[in-house]
Structure 1
Amino acid sequence: MELLDKRKQQSKPTLVQQGISIGMDYEKYRDLVHHLAETEQTTGHVQTEANVHYTQLNDRRMKRWHKTFAIPDEVQQRIIKIKSRLTFLTITESWCGDAAHSMPVFSKIAELNPNIDHKVVLRDEVPDIMDAFLTNEARSIPKVILWDGESKEIVGDWGPRPLAATEMVEAYKKEHGKLTPEFKQDLQVWYNKDKGRGILREVLNLLPLK
């Protein structure tokens, strides 16, 4: 088992590089989600009314968050000074509600510095990459991996949601067994009140800021 885990760990950099090479940029992903929302479709292997509905919701949410989310000036200056060649590789699907809140944050960070890229791959199309970055043995998304293009190393990863939101989810699951539409609405309210601050704070811990 130890040898198997070691081999799996060693394969991660190769998998991440493959993901970056085939990944789409954030704007292309946004265009894809918008098209799917308009044509009542969704990404992923499972085409359900629920997933189509969430894709449509997320199309509106990402558009709104990209317009309203703002990185504080002092943090912007620190991001601008990053000299490392970095790439955020996001694994997601169009129906993922948590991703609709976090992806605009990563995009805003990347926009500040030409040394930072943001690439997106779809979970169901990259099972090998997804399985290398499980959360509690589950294919939870979004999963964002930070790659250093100079050292060819994985700097860290994040996801599927901020710590405070994760605690809400785990507590609700423990009490009720599963997440209900009512809870998902409560989680949406939390995201709206937090305004991306929790996501930004946790992501900044991954970056080589000075």
Structure 2
Amino acid sequence: MNRPRLFLVTPPEFDISDMAAKLEQAFAGGDVACVLIYLPGAGTKAVQEAAEKLVPVIQQGGAAALVYGDTQAAGRSGADGVHVDTSLEDIKLAVESFQPERIVGTGGTKLKHDTMEAAETGVDYIFFGKLSLDEKEKAHDKTLSGASWWAELFETPCVAMAGNSMETLAEVAKTGADFVALKDAVWQSDADVSSVVAEANRILEAHPFPEME
């Protein structure tokens, strides 16, 4: 697929059955590459409980199921991978134990040097955008500039976090990021989740990657 793909991030709190239903709606709307099960304040037991219910739904939808910050829950639930952003040492440990069978992603770095150092561990993607920040209508300027810089110079795929409105998708796609992440724009929309995903795919299809010379 020669254009950015959708990377969905769950809300930080949710009802498991409700989220499972919403994810099924999302896949009915079109292509979704990954879903990050994002429960930053929960313990391993709660994360694992959510992952055990959601991972099969995500995988049946044709997407990769990733668990945020908990390698134990990711491993036990049969998830496709884990997102680790706590420290460089934690990233290295995750890469060592999960690859090559499973995905390891990271993000949240403040400095370009830290981002490059994280990529050197062999992670599968770099995430631009702060998952913990309240989303604004538009993508953060640092997210756009970081993703543009990375996409132009480095081979490791990158994910860029969009804002909470669909109008931000085009500008994020223009960075050249391999994946565009959506969170609030999907789950807090008044529209049906499937129609939001369908609209997102229509926007992304209008922004193919430049042809390689």
TM-score by length of 2: 0.29
Which structure would you say has the larger Rg?
Answer: 1
TM-score by length of 1: 0.29
